Amino acid sequence: MPMYYFHLRDQDTIQDVDGTELSDTDAARAHADVVARELKFKNEEFLDEGWSKWSMHVHDDKGQELFSFPMSGEKSDGKGR
């Protein structure tokens, strides 16, 4: 199964160095939504900044960005990178 990496970015990038093995891009998108909701549920901000400044960028194991979305949004749809 392919590996997917879920990086958080504002002015800097917090790299997901471990990645997650998932069946396909749709599974990666669903996983990204769950991770984003959990992060926002547990914390109102991240590294002393509101979530509105952060975005999640999902890459495949070749380093290609597949989709991204702002963490302030409700969910990712993979559109409007």
The CA-atom distances, in angstroms, between 21 and each of 13, 32, 58, 79 are 21, 13, 13, 23
Which residue from 16, 18, 80 is spatially nearest to 8, judged by alpha carbons? 16
- Per-residue pLDDT averaged across 54-78, rounded? 81
Q: How far apart are CA 64 and CA 81, in angstroms?
A: 13
The mean predicted confidence, pLDDT, of the chain is: 82
pTM metric for this prediction = 0.76
Checking if the pLDDT of 1 tops 50, the result is: yes
